[in-house]
Amino acid sequence: MIGRFPSSVDRRPFVQPSHRAIPYPRIQGSWTVDGAYPFPTMSISVVGRQTELQGIGTFLESINGGPRALMLYGEAGIGKTTLWQEGTAEARRHGYAVLLCRPAQSEVQLSYSSIADLLADLDEAVLSRLPTPQREALEVVRLRSQKPHATVDRRLVATAFLAVLQRLCDRTPVLLAVDDFQWLDRTSAQAIEFAARRVTGKIGFMISFRTTARNLDEPAFRVASPDGIYRLDVGPLSLAAIHHVLRERFGRTYPHPILVRIHEASAGNPFLALELVRVHGSGIGLGPRRSSATNCRGDCSRFA
């Protein structure tokens, strides 16, 4: 249940307002070897992220005093989507209206594709109460009109999208969740940012953003509450957590020295650890010792 955290853990909020230069706590011994997962309602398939999940729970709860935004930052494969999915599932379990989109790099040129995804399950009654120009603009964006996209005024779409969000969150808490914000098409990003800066009420934005050596700048995302933006830096998994991820995925355990090498080579990145074992199979640990995680990353085309 949101807000009901295990009594044995530190109750201080994990997520911090993004403008404060406070280092984020890393996983601290929260993972248990028998796989018991102390967070009461979230999935047990998420390993070693108790503190992060608590932070997400706190964020979801804070939406009731909204608007709020939670930015999940992290390198490729570190586990952003895994946490993001848990957050959306938790919001649903608590009756929030959840609007979500997961843009892909290949769709970055497709105008309004993410707005269409976000509004895919929209209650038509909400749409029908919009002023006619706004309703028609969203019908074009949702490909329910014969008018071409090019004829739609961007400000009209953004205003209509804002009106939809406002109507939804006047009825029930809303979570708008974007996974891989860096791949939003420009028109959708503009509409989301426009609406986020203006919408008031019980609404939260949960946004994951892949960081690379080249894009260390945060997206300029704002909400109407000046202190409403939080960030969560998704960091490496512990050795014990990597062990557990591998055991769950491959149904076997590895000797401690091999686990140490996998953990070292992957720098605690679960995707890299899984790829290492998938590629090297039982031969893992027999080859020449890798000196750093950078070497490992060079092997994985996903990280090119």
Structure tokens at 58: 């706190």
Range in contact with ligand ATP (rule: CB under 6 A) among 47-55, 140-148, 150-158, 260-268: 47-55
Is 77 a residue that touches ligand ATP (CB under 6 A)? yes
Q: What is the DSSP letter of 260?
A: H
Is 210 a residue that touches ligand ATP (CB under 6 A)? yes
* Residue 9 site contact among ligand ATP, Mg ion, none (CB < 5 to 8 Å, cut-off depends on kind): none
Task: Work out how close the CB of 239 gets to ligand ATP at its nearest, in angstroms, rounded to a whole number.
Answer: 14
Task: Work out how close the CB of 180 gets to Mg ion at its nearest, in angstroms, rounded to a whole number.
Answer: 6
**Cα–Cα distance, 116 to 188 (Å, whole number):** 9
Site string for ligand ATP, 4-43 (x = CB under 6 A): ----------------------------------------
Is 74 a residue that touches ligand ATP (CB under 6 A)? yes
Matching residue, tokens 């028109």: 187
Task: Work out how close the CB of 51 gets to ligand ATP at its nearest, in angstroms, rounded to a whole number.
Answer: 11
Binding ligand ATP by CB under 6 A: which of 9, 76, 293, 300? 76
For residue 71, CA distances in Å to 107, 204, 240 come to 22, 11, 26
Task: Work out how close the CB of 46 gets to ligand ATP at its nearest, in angstroms, rounded to a whole number.
Answer: 5
Is 47 a residue that touches ligand ATP (CB under 6 A)? yes
Task: Work out how close the CB of 153 gets to ligand ATP at its nearest, in angstroms, rounded to a whole number.
Answer: 33
Structure tokens at 17: 């307002």
Strands laid side by side in the 68-74 sheet: 16-17, 229-233, 68-74, 203-210, 174-178, 97-101
Site string for Mg ion, 68-97 (x = CB under 5 A): ------------xx----------------
Q: Kind and range of the H or E element at 140?
A: helix 132-141
User: In the chain, how many H helices and how many E strands?
Assistant: 11, 6
Is 82 a residue that touches ligand ATP (CB under 6 A)? yes
Is 187 a residue that touches Mg ion (CB under 5 A)? no
Residue nearest to Mg ion (CB): 81
Interaction residues for ligand ATP, span 212-271 (CB under 6 A): 245, 270-271
Cα 47–chain centre separation: 16
Give backbone dihedrals phi and psi of 72, rounded to 5 degrees, phi first: -100, 115
Task: Work out how close the CB of 210 gets to Mg ion at its nearest, in angstroms, rounded to a whole number.
Answer: 7
Is 204 a residue that touches ligand ATP (CB under 6 A)? no
| Contact predicate 290/301, CB 8 Å | no
User: Hey, which residues does 172 pair with through a beta bridge?
Assistant: none
Q: Which residues contact 101 (CB under 8 A, 6 or more apart)?
A: 114, 117, 118, 177, 178, 179, 184, 188
**Chain contacts with Mg ion (rule: CB under 5 A):** 80-81
